[in-house]
Amino acid sequence: MPDVRPGAPADRLQGPVPQQGVAQPAAGGDQRDTRAAVDVALLPAVFSGALVAMIALDRDGTVTALTPSVERLLGWTESELLGTPLHRHVRHQRADGRPVPAEDSPVLAGLREARPAGRDDEYLVRKDGSLLPVTWAFAPTVLARTPVGGVLTFYDAQAARAQTARQRQRLAEVEESNARLALLADVSHVLGESDDVVEGLRAVARRVVPVLADWVCVDVLGEDGTTLERVALAHRDPVLDAVGATHLGPLPPLRPGMTSALAQVLQGLPLLHQQEVPATAVDELAADRLALVRELGAAEGITAPLRARGRTLGAITLVRTDGTRPYRQEDRDFVADLAARAAALLDTTRLLGHQVRRAEQMQRALLPELADRIGPLALSGLYRPASDLAQVGGDWYDAFALPDGSTGLVIGDVAGHDLHAATRMGAIRHKLRALAGDRVAPASEVVARLDRVVQRFAPQDLVTLLYARVTAAGPAGVRLEWSNAGHPPPLLLSPGGPARLLDDVVDLPVGVDDLPRADAATALEDGSTLVLYSDGLVERPRESLTTGLERLLRVAADLGTVPLRGLGQDLLTGMRPTGLDDIAVLAVRLGPQGADAAP
């Protein structure tokens, strides 16, 4: 018989060599020669690279070819099987241990009837007498409508199930890995978009549950390195999630000598994987954690430090309550990465917080110490930095007494949001004070003189400002005169009258060109409130300044009688500025002592 095993040499093929894919009958038309030709023509292509055991049979059930895997699975060699009846060596056995006789063999029945057959979870008897659990199938071979034999295929069912289980396990691991990567991307996005570090950490905890943990908590050290607060806790069970919320807040402080898992991580130990819940508490932090575990449940947990720039800022703990899902190395690596990203957010927020506080302190240091009153005027100033952390702006207000008894009022804004703008603001504020006090003159003249100074000594600077003088006009009352260099118009709240904008004249900003400047003037009634403000109060992206000014008139309509000290904050509340720009507000009320508190 021909050797049809993969790689068999051509000189071992018996009979004429056929054209590829075409059966060539032997001379004389002998049926056995025809079967041999079929074997030679078809079986090499069928058997080559087969993943299962295959045995070719002729019409009488004699083995004509087989794959090497037959010997591996059953123990019978090629020489022992070729040319012998299949049932002599390859036999089925019933579930009760009795052998299946040839007349009952389902394979031979399929061969006789030229029909397919197959079954799962049956047994073939190996050469050594042991049983091989198999899944098998038989397909008849029919040429020219004449049955000429068939092919029996089978494989080790137990090994196949084990392989399937391994493949499913591998697929599950790949799916878990993909889920971890997707979760890490989601967490990174959340942290990148978060303006509030606590809300960002809580969002992280909510996303980790239930993908990688049944519950998660985040504990943050204070900047003193000892005070400790639980800022986030999320549980997959809504009822227990509500229970966990009651455990947010201050924790026992971190002290030297503490040996609990959380304390060790906070003191510099790397990630800890606890596979058993401690039975007793070794310190106050362990007692708190043990109480939490008793309420929320735990089988194992991973605690990872929130470390940035060599400092431990806190810890994140992931807990599973199901002991059948143990954490693996990939999970520990993920938690370490997650902790590093959360620590970066916490560290960056703290750094920017320090910077913005320093920037705000610098900005406020450049603003004047505003007196409560100057003559008949009550004063109140407000400065609000931009929400863009660590940026300083060039907005300022000022009020000062002039040699002739009048009062100078200023609101201004140096273009830019950097240290240069802030320092130039300080220089320009002092120069304006000096020019206004050196020679009392109309507001337009003071602004024009300042314009020439700026263009000469700081030609790169651009400043919008409004300078006003409040003067006594004898028995007729008090007079306000001003010059506006490209700044939003003042707001006047008169007793019994509507809010209005003093937009009579607006000239170019300081630093643009040396052009004549105009003055405007109006009388001030007793109890009137004048509000000077910078553009951050009224401007919004994709909105005209006119719209912002109309909104200001609506908001300010009922503020003419509120205490002066709260007026600036009331304006902020009503206007809801974007925070993209810093804001300066100077509120001035005309009236006797005490009238500004309850007009």
Per-residue model confidence as pLDDT tens digits over 222-273: 989 999 999 999 999 999 999 999 999 999 999 999 999 999 999 999 999 9
CA distance 560 to 448: 32
Least confidently predicted of 102-106, 307-311, 417-421, 540-544:
417-421
231 and 100 part of one domain: no
Q: Among all chains, which residue has been given the structure tokens 């807990």?
A: 319
Q: How confident is the model at residue 382 (pLDDT cuts 50, 70, 90)?
A: very high
Cis peptide before 210 (omega within 30 of 0): yes
What secondary structure, in 3-state letters, does 355-374 show? HHHHHHHHHHHHCCCCCCEE
Mean of the pLDDT values across residues 409-413?
Answer: 96
460 and 491 part of one domain: yes
Q: Which residues pair with 228 in a beta bridge?
A: 221, 251
Indicate whether 96 pLDDT > 90. no
Comparing C-alpha atoms, which of 346, 391, 357 is closest to residue 194? Answer: 346
Tell me what pLDDT residue 344 has.
87
**Which strand (E) or helix (H) includes residue 269?**
none
Contact 216, 342 (CB under 8 A): no
CATH code where residue 34 lies: 3.30.450.20
345 and 428 part of one domain: no
Query: pLDDT by residue (tens digit) across 175-184?
Result: 877 777 777 7
Tell me what pLDDT residue 27 has.
41
Q: Which residues constitute the domain of residue 217?
A: 194-355
Tell me what pLDDT residue 40 has.
47
What does the mean pLDDT of the chain come to? Answer: 85
CATH code where residue 537 lies: 3.60.40.10
Contact 396, 410 (CB under 8 A): yes
Tell me what pLDDT residue 477 has.
75
Q: How confident is the model at residue 388 (pLDDT cuts 50, 70, 90)?
A: low
503 and 548 part of one domain: yes
Which letter does DSSP use for residue 276 in this model? S
Q: How confident is the model at residue 592 (pLDDT cuts 50, 70, 90)?
A: confident
Tell me what pLDDT residue 170 has.
84
151 and 201 part of one domain: no
Mean of the pLDDT values across residues 393-398?
Answer: 88
Mean of the pLDDT values across residues 561-587?
Answer: 92
Q: Among all chains, which residue has been given the structure tokens 């314009």?
A: 451
The sign of the CA dihedral 219, 220, 225, 227 is negative
Does residue 476 fall inside a structural domain? Answer: yes
Tell me what pLDDT residue 66 has.
94
* Amino acid type, 13: L
User: How many Å from the N-terminal Cα to the C-terminal Cα in the chain?
Assistant: 119
297 and 435 part of one domain: no
582 and 465 part of one domain: yes
Does residue 550 fall inside a structural domain? Answer: yes
* Cβ atoms within 10 Å of 594's Cβ, excluding its own: 10
Decide which of 323 and 6 is more confident. 323
47 and 153 part of one domain: yes
Comparing C-alpha atoms, which of 312, 248, 299 is closest to residue 273? Answer: 299
Q: How confident is the model at residue 196 (pLDDT cuts 50, 70, 90)?
A: confident
CA distance 436 to 441: 7
- How remote is the C-alpha of 231 from its chain's centroid? 18
Does residue 169 fall inside a structural domain? Answer: no
Tell me what pLDDT residue 8 has.
40
Phi-psi map region of 427: left, alpha, beta (phi>0 left; psi -120 to 50 alpha): alpha
Does residue 177 fall inside a structural domain? Answer: no
CA dist list (Å): 63 to 30, 56, 70, 82, 128: 18, 6, 12, 5, 20
Comparing C-alpha atoms, which of 318, 348, 358 is closest to residue 210? Answer: 318
Q: Among all chains, which residue has been given the structure tokens 């008139």?
A: 553
Decide which of 206 and 473 is more confident. 206
Percent of the chain, pLDDT > 90? 58
Mean of the pLDDT values across residues 467-486?
Answer: 88
For residue 324, give both structure tokens: 């059948």
For residue 598, give both structure tokens: 């309850």
CA distance 59 to 466: 111
149 and 53 part of one domain: yes
**Domain final residue pick, 355, 390, 417:** 355
Q: Among all chains, which residue has been given the structure tokens 């990148």?
A: 192
**Domain final residue pick, 142, 161, 180:** 161
Tell me what pLDDT residue 171 has.
83
Tell me what pLDDT residue 529 has.
96
Who's near 563: CB < 8 A, 6+ residues apart? 596, 597, 598
For residue 206, give both structure tokens: 């909510």
CA distance 466 to 488: 8
Decide which of 591 and 306 is more confident. 306
For residue 30, give both structure tokens: 């002998």
CATH code where residue 241 lies: 3.30.450.40
Indicate whether 47 pLDDT > 90. no
Does residue 3 fall inside a structural domain? Answer: no
428 and 542 part of one domain: yes
Query: pLDDT by residue (tens digit) across 129-157?
Result: 899 999 999 999 999 889 999 999 999 98
Tell me what pLDDT residue 248 has.
95
Does residue 257 fall inside a structural domain? Answer: yes
Phi-psi map region of 474: left, alpha, beta (phi>0 left; psi -120 to 50 alpha): left
Which letter does DSSP use for residue 581 in this model? S
Phi-psi map region of 407: left, alpha, beta (phi>0 left; psi -120 to 50 alpha): beta
| HSE of 102, CA atoms in CB hemisphere, 13 A | 10
Least confidently predicted of 102-111, 166-175, 536-545:
166-175
Tell me what pLDDT residue 236 has.
95
| HSE of 50, CA atoms in CB hemisphere, 13 A | 25
Query: Considering its fold, how many domains does the chain have in total?
Result: 3
Tell me what pLDDT residue 6 has.
39
Q: Which residues pair with 57 in a beta bridge?
A: 63, 150
- How remote is the C-alpha of 128 from its chain's centroid? 62
| Local structure of 313: helix, strand or coil | strand
Q: How confident is the model at residue 99 (pLDDT cuts 50, 70, 90)?
A: confident
Tell me what pLDDT residue 339 has.
92
CA distance 464 to 473: 28
Indicate whether 312 pLDDT > 90. yes
108 and 239 part of one domain: no
For residue 405, give both structure tokens: 């008894």
Q: Which residues pair with 288 in a beta bridge?
A: none
Percent of the chain, pLDDT > 70? 85
342 and 440 part of one domain: no
Comparing C-alpha atoms, which of 52, 62, 41, 46 is closest to residue 111? Answer: 62
CA distance 521 to 496: 20
* Cβ atoms within 10 Å of 265's Cβ, excluding its own: 24
Does residue 493 fall inside a structural domain? Answer: yes
**Domain final residue pick, 299, 332, 355:** 355
Q: How confident is the model at residue 514 (pLDDT cuts 50, 70, 90)?
A: confident
For residue 427, give both structure tokens: 């220089």
Angle in degrees, CA 453, 455, 461, rounded to 5: 110
Comparing C-alpha atoms, which of 523, 587, 590 is closest to residue 376? Answer: 590
Indicate whether 216 pLDDT > 80. yes
Indicate whether 48 pLDDT > 60. no
Q: How confident is the model at residue 167 (pLDDT cuts 50, 70, 90)?
A: confident
Does residue 78 fall inside a structural domain? Answer: yes
The sign of the CA dihedral 333, 334, 336, 337 is positive
Query: pLDDT by residue (tens digit) across 12-29?
Result: 333 333 333 333 333 444
